[in-house]
């Protein structure tokens, strides 16, 4: 048995080294992902099942330590340092117990959130600097305060609901955990702090993918057939408008061409937005107010809803579209049919507990769009990513 295991480790090591070499030579996202996947396979082979179970058991404590460090402003203090920071200095702003800081710092060092030059001598890492960014803090706070209580209660929700795939926006894991029948969006609208955390989390995105306008052929697919009297892009459920601002920075179109739509609570939560972007308070379950736009863009919207609800949302768009001119652009995960990676499979769990929503494969996207009279023109995927744009038009 050990012989087989050693053989596996040897071949996984060879594979990992080869894929890391390829990544270093090519520096592409695809080869980085491949190198990471083979390094993870090697780590898994080195772990015993008991290691793996205990790692799972202790992993929530990593989140707790990182969140506590963030609350103690440890990342801010560390990031400014050019010489090592001591426990006393890190404890200072919140007058924390030095021994508590010492214990938290040990965890941070284990997970590369800080580096340790000697006992009680800490320097920043890329991760500690990342944790000072407003969007990273919003993501951590949203997870810790709003998502974890739901995740903790979800197995109980399934026991009580006989393991049905959740799809009811008023009766999913969130409603079970928070004892409400409000949809997550109504619940957010009534909880201003949670809404602010969530919107900041949305602005942060979920990875370092560049803005879609950097890799989607905007000129050819949108701008070449722009109509002077029509909006170019309607961002439906666009949050605080960060995607449209990103678009405008890359393609500085005239005022009125870009339209942001979201619920009143979200539009009212906007603090800064380019004045040339039109804002509309609108529910996508109502008829679409902007007719015949060149494109209706949905980012991380469809994955929040069951097929039935997506059909309702999409029918309001198909009614507003002009055949042969208007498009729908959906930016979401496109789950591979086999061996999907943790990022999309775990995001599927997150949307399931929150909305409840679902991430879809190509087949499921195609079936959904065809069911409302649309046809997929192309699945656009930046190389190495499983999140892309589904371009669709009226059949």
Ligand X SMILES: C[S@@+](CC[C@H](N)C(=O)[O-])C[C@H]1O[C@@H](n2cnc3c(N)ncnc32)[C@H](O)[C@@H]1O
Nearer to ligand X, 124 or 172 (CB): 172
Residue with the CB atom nearest ligand X in the bound state: 237
Handedness of CA 41, 46, 52, 58 (dihedral sign): negative
Distance CA 386, CA 137 (A): 25
> At its nearest, how many Å lie between ligand X and the CB of residue 316?
10
Residue whose tokens read 């972007």? 277
Residue 300 backbone dihedrals phi, psi, to 5 degrees: 55, 40
Per DSSP, helices labelled H in 171-222 are 173-178, 184-190, 192-204, 212-215, 218-221
Angle between helices 148-160 and 342-354 (to 10 degrees): 70
Please say which residue, 176 or 299, places its beta carbon nearer to ligand X.
299
The residue ranges that bind ligand X (CB under 6 A) are 185, 202, 237-239, 262-263, 266, 283-285, 299-301, 304
Give the count of alpha carbons within 13 A of 102, CB side only. Answer: 7
What is the set of active-site residues? Answer: 303
296 φ, ψ to 5°? -110, 120
Site of tokens 């890359």? 250
Cβ(389)–Cβ(380) below 8 Å: yes
Cis peptide before 356 (omega within 30 of 0): yes
Q: Which lies closer to ligand X via its Cβ, residue 120 or residue 246?
A: 246
Closer residue to ligand X, CB minimum distance, 221 or 240: 240
Q: How far is the CB of 349 from ligand X (least distance, A)?
A: 15
Smallest gap, in angstroms, from Cβ of residue 140 to ligand X?
A: 17
Q: Cβ of residue 331: shortest distance to ligand X, in angstroms? A: 7
Q: What is the spatial distance between Cα 374 and Cα 365, in angstroms, rounded to a whole number?
A: 11
Q: Considering the complex, what minimum distance in angstroms separates the CB of residue 262 from ligand X?
A: 5
Q: Which is nearer to ligand X, 78 or 260 (CB)?
A: 260
């Amino acid at each position: 048995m050990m012989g087989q295991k050693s053989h596996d480790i040897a071949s996984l090591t060879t594979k990992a080294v080869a894929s890391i070499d390829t990544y270093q030579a090519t520096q592409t996202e695809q080869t980085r992902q491949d190198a990471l996947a083979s390094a993870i396979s090697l780590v898994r082979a080195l772990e015993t099942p008991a290691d793996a179970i205990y790692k799972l058991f202790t992993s929530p404590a990593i989140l707790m330590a990182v969140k506590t460090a963030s609350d103690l402003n440890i990342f801010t203090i560390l990031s400014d340092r050019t010489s090592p920071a001591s426990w006393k200095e890190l404890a200072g702003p919140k007058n924390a117990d030095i021994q508590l800081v010492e214990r938290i710092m040990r965890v941070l060092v284990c997970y590369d959130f800080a580096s340790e030059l000697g006992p009680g001598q800490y320097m920043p890492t890329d991760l500690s600097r990342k944790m000072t960014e407003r969007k990273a803090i919003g993501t951590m706070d949203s997870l810790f305060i709003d998502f974890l209580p739901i995740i903790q209660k979800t197995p109980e929700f399934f026991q009580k609901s006989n393991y049905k795939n959740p799809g009811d926006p008023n009766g999913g894991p969130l409603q079970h955990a928070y004892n409400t029948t409000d949809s997550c969006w109504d619940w957010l609208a009534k909880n201003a702090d949670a809404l602010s955390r969530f919107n900041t989390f949305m602005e942060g995105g979920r990875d370092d993918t560049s803005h879609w306008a950097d890799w989607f052929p905007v000129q050819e697919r949108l701008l070449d057939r722009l109509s002077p009297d029509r909006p170019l892009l309607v961002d439906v459920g666009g949050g605080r408008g960060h995607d449209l601002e990103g678009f405008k920075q890359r393609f500085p179109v005239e005022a009125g061409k870009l339209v942001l739509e979201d619920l009143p609570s979200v539009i009212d939560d906007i603090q800064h937005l380019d004045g040339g972007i039109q804002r509309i308070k609108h529910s996508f379950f109502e008829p679409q107010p902007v007719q015949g736009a060149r494109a209706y863009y949905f980012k991380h919207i469809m994955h929040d809803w069951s097929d039935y609800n997506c059909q309702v949302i999409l029918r309001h768009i198909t009614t507003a579209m002009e055949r042969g001119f208007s498009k729908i652009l959906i930016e979401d995960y496109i789950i591979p049919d086999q061996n999907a990676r943790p990022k999309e499979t775990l995001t599927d769990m997150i949307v399931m507990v929150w909305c409840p929503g679902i991430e879809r494969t190509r087949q499921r996207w195609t079936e959904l769009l065809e069911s409302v009279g649309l046809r997929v023109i192309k699945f656009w995927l930046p190389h190495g990513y499983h999140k892309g744009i589904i371009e669709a038009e009226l059949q």
